[in-house]
């Protein structure tokens, strides 16, 4: 299981890498869409424990981790921001969870668990180590966008460069 914070970091990093928008909506939509699939742990679990629903469809990484769930999430969040950001946030969550145990990608039609089983701590560490520098680099690029001017080699004599 990948930590929720890592899902948010990866979604934000991917949106930053692909869009670098100055508006907050793409980042908010991506972060929220990246967290929605894990809502099954607190929405469906009580229903299963009380006996209202049964089966793998209502378990963790079931319906909310499926392509159908993704279509619904992207459609809902596209009202608040770009649907590409919602798709990136949701999709990155599904990809990471498929690497750390699997997801029921075609639920409710197919109950098969698709994915690999990589150690979750290793996966969290690696994705965080990649996502955090991407976000920081993107923020720096946004801050200095248009401000950076490459140094002119004719502005100073060569000997002054070494002082």
* Helix%, strand%, coil% for the chain, nearest 5: 65, 0, 35
Look at the block and give the residue holding tokens 């502005």. 155
Confidence at 1, pLDDT banded by 50, 70, 90? low
Write the DSSP assignment of 16-81 as a string of letters. HHHT--SSSHHHHHHHHHHHGGGGHHHHHHHHHHTTS--SGGGSTTSGGGSHHHHHHHHHHHTTTS
> CA end-to-end span of the chain, whole Å?
54
Report d(CA 156, CA 126) in Å as an integer: 44
Rounded to two decimals, the pTM is 0.80
pLDDT at 45 over 90: no
Output 74 or 19, whichever has higher pLDDT: 74
Compute the average pLDDT of residues 71-86: 95
Rg (CA), the chain: 21
**For the chain, what is the mean pLDDT?**
85
């Amino acid at each position: 299981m990948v930590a929720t914070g890592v899902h948010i970091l990866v979604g934000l990093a991917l949106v930053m890498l692909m869009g670098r928008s100055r508006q907050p909506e793409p980042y908010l939509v991506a972060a929220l869409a990246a967290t929605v699939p894990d809502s099954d742990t607190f929405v469906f679990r009580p229903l299963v424990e009380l006996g209202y629903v049964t089966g793998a469809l209502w378990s963790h990484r079931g319906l909310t981790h499926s392509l159908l769930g993704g279509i619904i999430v992207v459609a809902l969040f596209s009202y608040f921001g770009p649907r590409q950001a919602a798709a990136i946030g949701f999709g990155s969550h599904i990809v990471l969870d498929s690497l750390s145990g699997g997801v029921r990608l075609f639920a409710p039609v197919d109950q098969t668990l698709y994915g690999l089983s990589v150690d979750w701590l290793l996966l969290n560490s690696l994705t965080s180590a990649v996502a955090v520098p991407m976000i920081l680099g993107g923020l720096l690029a946004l801050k200095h966008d248009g401000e950076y001017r490459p140094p002119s080699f004719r502005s100073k004599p060569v000997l002054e460069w070494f002082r």
